[in-house]
Amino acid sequence: MKEIGAFEAKSRFGQLLDWVDAGEEVVITRRGKVVARVVPPASVVDYGAALAAADRIRARRRGVTLGGLKIKDLVSEGRL
């Protein structure tokens, strides 16, 4: 983790972004007090995990029925 003063961060903003792009976390201080933290973006979405979660949701709903009721009737009764 790098620490840099606010004035210096303003002057060297491009380099600050290069550090963050390289995976560094940069703390910006003003008069010795931490005022900001610049971090790399969160990791990329794991599409495999997302598809697996969707499959688990689909599996849980298999076999679930409304017992002969119609969604329209449930809505009209205020149950949905």
Average pLDDT of span 44-51: 88
Are 38 and 25 spatial neighbours (Cβ–Cβ below 8 Å)? yes
Residue type, 28: I
Residue 38 structure tokens: 């610049």
Class level of CATH domain 1-80: alpha beta
Please say if the pLDDT value at position 79 is more than 80: no
Please say if the pLDDT value at position 44 is more than 90: no
Confidence of residue 73 (pLDDT cuts 50, 70, 90): confident
Q: Domains of the chain: which residue ranges?
A: 1-80
- Predicted local distance difference test score (pLDDT) of residue 9: 95
- Predicted local distance difference test score (pLDDT) of residue 42: 80
pTM for the model: 0.52
The maximal CA–CA distance of the chain, rounded, in angstroms, is 70
